[in-house]
């Protein structure tokens, strides 16, 4: 069984599309298709249900996908560990950061970290917390700053910040006269929300569901700057971490009727090799300076 074939298979599973997998890996689409068929012939199973318009994994395909990801992760670990042995203080960290968390954390912590470790490069990818968590588990990033939940069985974590979600609005918005914003009040308003894939969105939608309220989502975006601009212009109201709006002169915020705590932390997969560079960031955040 060739490693290359495993890489092709995992790429197809990622996109559920052979053409997109070929584009990502910079190979011809027939090479992908032939490798998958060869794997299926070698192991005696069909990994994909090809009878539908879009590829779907069979039961055997699901099992093999998990094993393939583990095998490729371990191979990558060996490669990075050997490379790491030849380095001193240098290195690269592939770091996943959701936009809202990045805006909140970077000025306070990572700028200081870079001053202390100038030779370590940070390769950043911006996705929602849920997608960042998936990338950590699948080995696409080394570390990720995510919203911590109780469902972190595959991860080790280090808490960075304890905050809460609040309602934010234009400074002249009529809801500003209320000390707290209840679901009944929110139900009447147009909302500006982050798109699916952001844990922050799930928390808000679950809040509405819990109280039997129906949100009116006017705009969904994956850009924090767009969300803030729409709120400032009075297009709708939204929900942000308290620290992001405390000092914003163009917005006001009010607590929700129910306290919605959020814990933010650094996460990494438990069974993966951690490079020296990754360990420096973990150590820094575990012993972060006060006041940051």
pLDDT, tens only, 143-174: 999 999 887 778 999 998 899 999 999 999 99
Specify the CATH number for 87-160+264-286; select among 3.40.50.20, 3.30.300.170, 3.40.190.10, 3.75.10.10.
3.40.190.10
Is the predicted pLDDT of residue 80 greater than 70, yes or no? Answer: no
Q: Which of 61-75, 91-105, 165-179 has the highest mean pLDDT?
A: 165-179
* pLDDT computed for residue 141 by the predictor: 93
CA distance 230 to 3: 48
CA distance 95 to 268: 10
CA distance 2 to 239: 48
* pLDDT computed for residue 287 by the predictor: 83
Q: How many residues does the chain have?
A: 292
Ranges of each domain in the chain: 3-84, 87-160+264-286, 162-262
Helix (H, G, I), strand (E, B) or coil at 247: coil
Beta-strand runs (E) in the chain: 48-49, 56-57, 91-96, 120-125, 143-147, 155-170, 190-194, 216-221, 238-241, 251-255, 261-269
pTM for the full predicted model:
0.67
Is the predicted pLDDT of residue 82 greater than 70, yes or no? Answer: no
Per residue in 171-188, pLDDT (tens digit) is: 999 999 999 999 999 998
| Domain pair 87-160+264-286 / 162-262, same fold | yes
Contact of 170 with 232, CB cutoff 8 Å: yes
- For range 222-247, the mean pLDDT: 92
* pLDDT computed for residue 198 by the predictor: 86
DSSP-derived pairing of the beta strands 91-96 and 120-125 = parallel
Contact of 26 with 50, CB cutoff 8 Å: no
Residue 215, CB-side half-sphere exposure with 13 Å CA sphere: 22
User: What's the burial of 221, exposed, middle or buried (CB within 10 Å: 0-12/13-18/19+)?
Assistant: middle
CATH topology of domain 3-84: Arc Repressor Mutant, subunit A (1.10.10)
The CATH number of the structural domain formed by 162-262 is 3.40.190.290
**78 against 92, higher pLDDT:** 92
């Amino acid at each position: 069984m060739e490693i290359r074939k495993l890489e092709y298979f995992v790429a197809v599973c990622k996109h559920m599309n052979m053409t997109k997998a070929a584009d990502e890996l910079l190979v011809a689409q027939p090479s992908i298709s032939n490798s998958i068929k060869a794997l299926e012939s070698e192991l005696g199973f069909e990994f994909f249900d090809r009878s539908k318009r879009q590829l779907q994994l069979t039961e055997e395909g699901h099992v093999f996908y998990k094993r393939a990801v583990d095998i490729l992760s371990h191979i990558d670990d060996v490669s990075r560990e050997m490379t790491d042995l030849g380095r001193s203080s240098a290195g690269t960290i592939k770091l996943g950061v959701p936009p809202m968390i990045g805006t909140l954390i970077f000025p306070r912590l990572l700028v200081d970290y870079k001053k202390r470790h100038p030779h370590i490069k940070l390769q950043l990818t911006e996705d929602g917390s849920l997608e960042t968590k998936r990338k950590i588990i699948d080995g696409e990033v080394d570390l990720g700053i995510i919203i911590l939940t109780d469902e972190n069985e595959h991860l080790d974590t280090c808490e960075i910040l304890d905050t809460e979600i609040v309602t934010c609005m234009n400074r002249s918005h009529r809801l500003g006269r209320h000390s707290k914003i209840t679901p009944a009040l929110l139900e009447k308003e147009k909302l500006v929300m982050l798109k699916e894939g952001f844990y922050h969105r799930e928390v808000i939608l679950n809040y509405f569901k819990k109280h039997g309220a129906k949100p009116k989502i006017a705009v969904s975006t994956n850009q924090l700057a767009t969300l803030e601009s729409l709120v400032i212009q009075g297009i709708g109201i939204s929900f942000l971490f308290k620290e992001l709006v405390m000092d914003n002169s163009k917005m006001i915020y009010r607590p929700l009727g129910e306290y919605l705590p959020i814990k933010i932390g650094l996460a990494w997969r438990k069974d993966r090799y951690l490079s020296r560079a990754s360990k420096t960031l973990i150590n820094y955040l575990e012993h972060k300076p006060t006041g940051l």
